Amino acid sequence: MEMRFMKGNEAIAEAAVRAGCRFFAGYPITPQNEIPEYMSRRLPEVDGTFVQGESEVASINMIFGAAATGTRAMTSSSSPGISLKSEGISYLAGAELPAVIVNVMRGGPGLGQITPAQTDYLQATKAAGHGGFKMIVLAPSTIQEAVDLTYKAFDYAERDKNPVMIASDGCIGAMMEPVVLPEFKEPPAYNFAGRAKFNPNYKSVSSSENFEAAQEVFNKKLADMYEDWNKNDALFEEYMTEDAEYIIASYGISARVSKTAIKTLRKEGIKIGLVRPITLSPFPYEAYAKLDSSKVKRIIDVEMAIPAQMIDDVKIAVEGRIPVSSYGRTGGNIITDDNIIDGVMNIIGKEGGK
Amino acid sequence: MEMRFMKGNEAIAEAAVRAGCRFFAGYPITPQNEIPEYMSRRLPEVDGTFVQGESEVASINMIFGAAATGTRAMTSSSSPGISLKSEGISYLAGAELPAVIVNVMRGGPGLGQITPAQTDYLQATKAAGHGGFKMIVLAPSTIQEAVDLTYKAFDYAERDKNPVMIASDGCIGAMMEPVVLPEFKEPPAYNFAGRAKFNPNYKSVSSSENFEAAQEVFNKKLADMYEDWNKNDALFEEYMTEDAEYIIASYGISARVSKTAIKTLRKEGIKIGLVRPITLSPFPYEAYAKLDSSKVKRIIDVEMAIPAQMIDDVKIAVEGRIPVSSYGRTGGNIITDDNIIDGVMNIIGKEGGK
Amino acid sequence: MEMRFMKGNEAIAEAAVRAGCRFFAGYPITPQNEIPEYMSRRLPEVDGTFVQGESEVASINMIFGAAATGTRAMTSSSSPGISLKSEGISYLAGAELPAVIVNVMRGGPGLGQITPAQTDYLQATKAAGHGGFKMIVLAPSTIQEAVDLTYKAFDYAERDKNPVMIASDGCIGAMMEPVVLPEFKEPPAYNFAGRAKFNPNYKSVSSSENFEAAQEVFNKKLADMYEDWNKNDALFEEYMTEDAEYIIASYGISARVSKTAIKTLRKEGIKIGLVRPITLSPFPYEAYAKLDSSKVKRIIDVEMAIPAQMIDDVKIAVEGRIPVSSYGRTGGNIITDDNIIDGVMNIIGKEGGK
Amino acid sequence: MEMRFMKGNEAIAEAAVRAGCRFFAGYPITPQNEIPEYMSRRLPEVDGTFVQGESEVASINMIFGAAATGTRAMTSSSSPGISLKSEGISYLAGAELPAVIVNVMRGGPGLGQITPAQTDYLQATKAAGHGGFKMIVLAPSTIQEAVDLTYKAFDYAERDKNPVMIASDGCIGAMMEPVVLPEFKEPPAYNFAGRAKFNPNYKSVSSSENFEAAQEVFNKKLADMYEDWNKNDALFEEYMTEDAEYIIASYGISARVSKTAIKTLRKEGIKIGLVRPITLSPFPYEAYAKLDSSKVKRIIDVEMAIPAQMIDDVKIAVEGRIPVSSYGRTGGNIITDDNIIDGVMNIIGKEGGK
């Protein structure tokens, strides 16, 4: 067991190497630069290949090629870069290829700001590209969790033959914490030969053959897999929820800051807790669905996104039984515990509060 | 008033020209090819410019440049092409530029099939790119509606200084119907000079200045605009809903085929109707929220997508008061009225049906 | 020994498979469509992977990823597509990765025409991308040669750890001829692990380390390799040159049509022959340098390109000792023997001719 | 007349603004970052638009769109970025659109180094993309010249309706000198309406019409224009050539450093001078062709490129009458006068020298 003091971005990179990642293609875009930097030094030490593509489209397709020939591959970027990769991500899903994609989110839309944000929740969980595919999306809120989830991501990717996304942000990426690093795994030697015989996406569309029937079979197979995820893979954390009259719904860095806010609010006598999705996809609907509406007066969705994004999933989960409000910061502004306390009190206060 | 017998894709193109579109950049991708083809012949007649870019990224950015210099611009593509454009679409939203984007949807993910599908609902409505921006998304189910909505799309785009999407599909694109064409509008001479002074996205991120505050102001302005859309711009159609015990939620070509299925089902004594969103974004939540749960036993979401996508918005609208099921086809297979009848009966039958 | 009647594009694809190519990423663009089509059917039969990327940038980077993990990889396109791939080709050269790129040339610049041309000679031989790298460029003028050169291309690529280009055109691609197919080679298992330790291009440019010294060493190593090519790998064909007073300099389809023209011109008493480069790079300078200026009155460069492109290399070779003129067609117009006869007679006639 | 002390990159940007440039799209890539930075601050002051695209492909196509709607537009990048733009540059030429493209060259191929180089000479002058088009390429060797040539570039672009390239490098970009700035020009209001009627590149290739004839007419028109450039627009500087027995052929920063070396070599009694192309395209062949082979013993091509690139054009010019050698540095290493003195002496020494 090896403990080290690491930056979030570097910890993600090291965890990937230990999970057997041997090909990384990426590109400098703030605030994820430490990931390619680290990989650039680290991968050669384990006979792996680091490449700095000159574009995001290049990078996602380089890992497509590497994955299609049997190598554990990863790319990372930040928000605009993920948009550029979105066609490639959809192709990975269509071609049943395992790969890990890290999004160190920053403010948007468009160019936006290079400082942290959580404005790509909907993109990550609902439509990281065309065609209705889904990915497992993992959202760390500590550096240790960043390590553990990245390590796990490669297993999910290979189990499902599907891309997996780490939804991080500029805060998690830049902060330092002590972490316990996992064991090195041997890079597995998987073989995709013959895949093309069964998946209708390995063909030319100029082809005169009709593949719609095979495509529907394939889409239904994916839909079944998503159902399995919902049943088996949803992860969440509950924090001070037992007696809570108010529940904060929050993930990643916002959830972490929320805990500090909750401690302060509890001192003020507010019975408040947190339900934090660790997997944004599959969303832990059950964690919110089971909340007792006779006890919980209101859910307050806290995100670094305006308008709020995760709030849709929370609403789907609670089916109107508990009112849902939202508070957030955005534009690359990091949410503080004071922000959250004010935001929460403002919402609670309006309804006669505690 | 001019009536013509037109293919859906061509009708969209002609409506754009009449709405003042004078720059089109696009690229052949089945099943939207008639749009660039038509524009290629038509735009020179009105002193407009047609360009066939050699990539989707090229096309979306050509219209960015044209829009930024004051010209009404449009691009069109099909599903994988929209993924490639997604970073550009987010940039249009970030830069407050009006433009119209047509997605003639086909099966996915990845390469998928070149035949019709509706699997980009979530991409269009939730995250056509990074950064949490939204667009008005218009979903025609007849050729006349394709004309009218395209014509309107340019006005929305300029009113909001925001991209607008036409969510069409390979069926609407390829079918022919008589249409009444609208009057020619003079291409407006709008001026974006000076925009850069107020929008924090017209800058270089290498710049040492801090723009997070301005970015949040900008994001909140967008969020307010989205609220206005919800209040004022949601469009929907109700069909045989008055006495309905079952409601089909469906849009575009699926909604159209659903009407045929409803007529047959009504003959069988099934009290069934349709609520069809015309604007997928803003979603007409109210149209579903107002359904009387003492009368409506179940909503059946019908899409050419598996898993269903619009179902999330329907669930958010009804807040658990009415059960929601889904039936669909996918993979480029066109849904038939028989499919829908079987799908509906199967769902209804399970619960003791009519 | 297996003989088959094949189209040029298909013959190239089959030769690649027999040379051990197991990964192909490409994209429909006329006039090279038969290559991806063929690969789409053929590669699965040998447990290889065919992928239709949705962009040229995607395809070149997919083969980068595949090559970097040890798989023989190929892509093909036509002129505009090669421009889009040019950054990727430069990266392959920078990263010392073997790959074969087929350019089935069509008319340009820009969109141009989808019919045959030879207007990418300078791009292929002088600057298929930035940074001054070179490739071996092979120009078949029969289907048999297309097969043999493609087969050989994979060996060059691996010997040199460098991309190799097949410079074909829409005529060679579309015509059919009987060909003898080579034996199947076992796909070699080469290993690029550790490459990054010695090549300064496997790093992050954000890195603070200084690599200029290593880069210059690397560039000089490449320059030495290009010198070796010049010494050892230049290939050309001489046709009726022995007594020739006029020499046509031409390659690919133009050279082939020139032979027909030469036969006719010879009947008219014109002593004319052909020197045809088979390798456009390294250019067979010696083949022209050795021409006897006391016998050869003029060299006539014949290309499907206006202005002529290969003429620069011919001029460098003859150093002014023999005058050099040019005749060509362009814009997607296929040159005929009558064209060449007229062009040659026009040039010869001016100087008092035969 | 306004004098200012400016960095090369900034001087280029200011000159563009004064030439009427009102749209700039670019992207951070070392060593050209000061251009977008400066434009980001400066363009809003003159009601112009700065956009940071998130890719090179985006940027070149944004200026395509802006140029096609009548706005003076510029983009800048460094070597790998130019490769990514190459398809767009070819499209600008095909569509007869004026635009200015700055390449602040760095070491390559591939990722290469972020420090100065001159390894894109062949790309700039022979094939900045497919299809055999040419651009006027201007190579400043002082900051004043950078200003004057950039100012002039916009006039060339509009006169010719063709892209123009500024071939700068990391040294010229980063050094500071006093410059006289030109007058502000009113951004001209040119109109491209109707262009499409005469240029066969404004169409859809899916179109069934045959445009090869029109394309050849267009190509020949371009070829005539290139001939006119050769006659009228070639620019060069001669430095201490009158009595020279040795001539350095060099451009840009290398030519500038060569002057220092020449002064030193002259002190040593070596009769050496410089012929410096200012326009790399059209290349000033005449400047070398007219050298008196009874006086000039040898031309020494000096570039920051190995193998040398401009040497081909020098050889074409002198037709073997004068021997041509080359000396260079590369890989991002800046050439010094000591390097050049050593390089020259080494070459001269071999042949019995002075």
C 95-134 near A (Cβ less than 8 A): 95
∠ CA A207-A210-A214 to the nearest 5 degrees?
A: 120
Q: Are A225 and A160 in contact (CB under 8 A)?
A: yes
Q: Looking at CA atoms only, how far is residue D252 from chain B in angstroms? A: 27
Residues C246 and C205 in one domain: no
Q: Which residue of D has its CA nearest to C91?
A: D110
Mean pLDDT of D190-208: 68
Q: Looking at CA atoms only, how far is residue B52 from chain C in angstroms? A: 7
Residues B140 and B187 in one domain: yes
Residues A47 and A194 in one domain: yes
Give the pLDDT confidence score for residue B203 in this predicted structure. Answer: 77
Residue D105 phi/psi, 5-degree rounding, is: -60, 140
Nearest to A111 among D54, D83, D84 (CB): D54
Return d(Cα D118, Cα D121) in angstroms, integer: 6
Q: What are the chain A neighbours of D80 within 8 Å (beta carbons)?
A: 54
Q: For residue C136, what are the domain limits?
A: 2-232
How far, CA to CA in Å, does A317 sit from each of A251, B78, B118, C185, D73? Answer: 16, 33, 25, 58, 51
Query: What does pLDDT average to over chain C?
Result: 93
> Which of B118-127, B195-204, C35-44, D76-85 has the weakest average pLDDT?
B195-204
Give the pLDDT confidence score for residue D209 in this predicted structure. Answer: 66
Asked if the C-beta of D181 comes within 8 angstroms of chain B's C-beta atoms, the answer is no
How far, CA to CA in Å, does D249 sit from each of B221, D146, D309, D323? Answer: 59, 20, 11, 12
Distance of CA A294 to the CA centre of its chain: 32
Asked if the C-beta of B204 comes within 8 angstroms of chain D's C-beta atoms, the answer is yes
Asked if the C-beta of A163 comes within 8 angstroms of chain D's C-beta atoms, the answer is no
User: What CATH number is given to the structural domain containing C130?
Assistant: 3.40.50.970
Cross-chain residue pair C133–D321, CB shorter than 8 Å: no
Within 10 A of D332 (CB to CB), how many other CB atoms are there? Answer: 27
Residues A203 and A286 in one domain: no
- Tens-digit pLDDT profile for residues A164-220: 999 999 999 999 999 999 999 987 666 666 666 668 888 776 555 678 888 999 999
Q: Are A147 and A182 in contact (CB under 8 A)?
A: yes
Give the pLDDT confidence score for residue A354 in this predicted structure. Answer: 42
Give the pLDDT confidence score for residue A353 in this predicted structure. Answer: 44
| DSSP-assigned beta bridge partners for residue C348 | none
Domain count, chain B: 2
Amino acid at D142: T
Q: Which residue of C has its CA nearest to D78?
A: C130
Q: What are the chain B neighbours of C57 within 8 Å (beta carbons)?
A: 55, 57
Return d(Cα A73, Cα A299) in angstroms, integer: 39
- Tens-digit pLDDT profile for residues C250-298: 999 999 999 999 999 999 999 999 999 999 999 999 999 999 999 999 9
Q: Are D184 and D218 in contact (CB under 8 A)?
A: no
Residues D222 and D242 in one domain: no
Helices and strands counted in chain D (H then E)? 12, 14
Optimal mutation site among C126, C168, C219, interface D, most CBs of chain D within 10 A? C219
Query: Considering only CA atoms, which of B285, B289, B290, B331 is closest in space to residue B307?
Result: B331
What distance, in Å, lies between the first and last C-alpha atoms of chain C?
46
Asked if the C-beta of A57 comes within 8 angstroms of chain C's C-beta atoms, the answer is yes
Give the pLDDT confidence score for residue B187 in this predicted structure. Answer: 72
| DSSP-assigned beta bridge partners for residue A281 | A137
Nearest to C94 among D57, D91, D111 (CB): D111
Nearest to B111 among C52, C80, C84 (CB): C52
Nearest to D47 among B25, B61, B194 (CB): B194
Give the pLDDT confidence score for residue C211 in this predicted structure. Answer: 81
Q: How many CB pairs under 8 A join A and C?
A: 168
Look at residue B180 and give its three-state secondary structure. strand
Optimal mutation site among C55, C57, C79, interface B, most CBs of chain B within 10 A? C55
Residues A242 and A125 in one domain: no
Q: Looking at CA atoms only, how far is residue A107 from chain C in angstroms? A: 22
Classify residue A196 by its DSSP letter. Answer: G
Query: Considering only CA atoms, which of B94, C349, D138, B279 is closest in space to residue A106?
Result: B94
Give the pLDDT confidence score for residue C2 in this predicted structure. Answer: 84
pTM of the model: 0.94
Mean pLDDT of C47-57: 88
Asked if the C-beta of B52 comes within 8 angstroms of chain C's C-beta atoms, the answer is yes
Return d(Cα C264, Cα A137) in angstroms, integer: 70
Nearest to A109 among B109, B129, B205 (CB): B129
Amino acid at D276: R
Give the pLDDT confidence score for residue A102 in this predicted structure. Answer: 98
Cross-chain residue pair C51–A197, CB shorter than 8 Å: no
Asked if the C-beta of C327 comes within 8 angstroms of chain A's C-beta atoms, the answer is no
Give the pLDDT confidence score for residue B226 in this predicted structure. Answer: 98
Residues A227 and A240 in one domain: no
Q: Which of B200, B217, B232 is the last residue of a domain?
A: B232
- Per-residue tokens: C31: 């006039």
Q: Which of B200, B232, B264 is the last residue of a domain?
A: B232
Nearest to A119 among B82, B114, B131 (CB): B131
Q: Element (H or E) spanning D56, and its range?
A: helix D56-68
Asked if the C-beta of C49 comes within 8 angstroms of chain B's C-beta atoms, the answer is no
Q: What are the chain B neighbours of C81 within 8 Å (beta carbons)?
A: 54
Query: What does pLDDT average to over chain A?
Result: 93
Q: What is the ipTM of this complex?
A: 0.95
Q: Could you tell me where the beta strands, DSSP code E, fall in chain D?
A: 2-7, 23-26, 49-52, 73-77, 99-105, 136-138, 163-169, 176-181, 236-239, 246-249, 272-277, 279-281, 298-303, 324-328
Asked if the C-beta of B64 comes within 8 angstroms of chain D's C-beta atoms, the answer is yes
Mean pLDDT of C75-84: 96
Nearest to C68 among A39, A51, A59 (CB): A51
Residues A288 and A192 in one domain: no
Mean pLDDT of A149-164: 96
Mean pLDDT of B136-151: 98
Give the pLDDT confidence score for residue C66 in this predicted structure. Answer: 92
Return d(Cα C287, Cα C280) in angstroms, integer: 12
Residues D216 and D270 in one domain: no
Q: Looking at CA atoms only, how far is residue C50 from chain A in angstroms? A: 6
Return d(Cα D334, Cα D81) in angstroms, integer: 21
Cross-chain residue pair B94–A115, CB shorter than 8 Å: no
Cross-chain residue pair A62–C44, CB shorter than 8 Å: no
Residues A86 and A57 in one domain: yes
Within 10 A of C46 (CB to CB), how many other CB atoms are there? Answer: 15
Whether omega before B282 lies within 30 degrees of 0, making that bond cis, reads yes
Is the pLDDT at A349 greater than 70? The verdict is yes
- Tens-digit pLDDT profile for residues A228-274: 999 999 999 999 999 999 999 999 999 999 999 999 999 999 999 99
User: What CATH number is given to the structural domain containing D309?
Assistant: 3.40.50.920
The more confidently predicted of residues C327 and A202 is: C327
Amino acid at A268: E
Asked if the C-beta of B336 comes within 8 angstroms of chain C's C-beta atoms, the answer is no
Mean pLDDT of C35-45: 93
Torsion of Cα atoms, D316 then D317 then D323 then D325, to 10° = -70
Mean pLDDT of C41-57: 89
Q: How confident is the model at residue A27 (pLDDT cuts 50, 70, 90)?
A: confident
How far, CA to CA in Å, does B285 sit from each of A311, B28, D331? Answer: 15, 36, 61
- Tens-digit pLDDT profile for residues B48-66: 999 988 789 999 999 999 9
Give the pLDDT confidence score for residue C353 in this predicted structure. Answer: 43
Residue D312 phi/psi, 5-degree rounding, is: -60, -45
Output the DSSP codes for B78-110. -HHHHHHHHHHHHHHHHTT--EEEEEEEBS-ST
Sign of the alpha-carbon torsion through D146, D150, D156, D157: positive
Q: Looking at CA atoms only, how far is residue D23 from chain C in angstroms? A: 22
Look at residue D255 and give its three-state secondary structure. helix
Residues A225 and A294 in one domain: no
Query: Would you mind telling me the total number of residues written for chain B in this entry?
Result: 354
Cross-chain residue pair A94–B111, CB shorter than 8 Å: yes
Q: How confident is the model at residue B95 (pLDDT cuts 50, 70, 90)?
A: very high
Asked if the C-beta of B80 comes within 8 angstroms of chain C's C-beta atoms, the answer is yes
- pLDDT above 70: percentage of residues in chain B: 94
Cross-chain residue pair C55–B84, CB shorter than 8 Å: yes
Residues D192 and D281 in one domain: no
- Decide: residue B196, CB within 10 A, 0-12 exposed, 13-18 middle, 19+ buried: buried
Distance of CA D8 to the CA centre of its chain: 14
Look at residue A179 and give its three-state secondary structure. strand
Q: How confident is the model at residue D354 (pLDDT cuts 50, 70, 90)?
A: very low
Is the pLDDT at D219 greater than 90? The verdict is yes
Query: What does pLDDT average to over chain D?
Result: 93
Q: Element (H or E) spanning C309, and its range?
A: none
Q: Which residue of A has its CA nearest to D80?
A: A54
Q: Which of C173, C203, C232 is the last residue of a domain?
A: C232
Q: Which residue of D has its CA nearest to C329?
A: D216
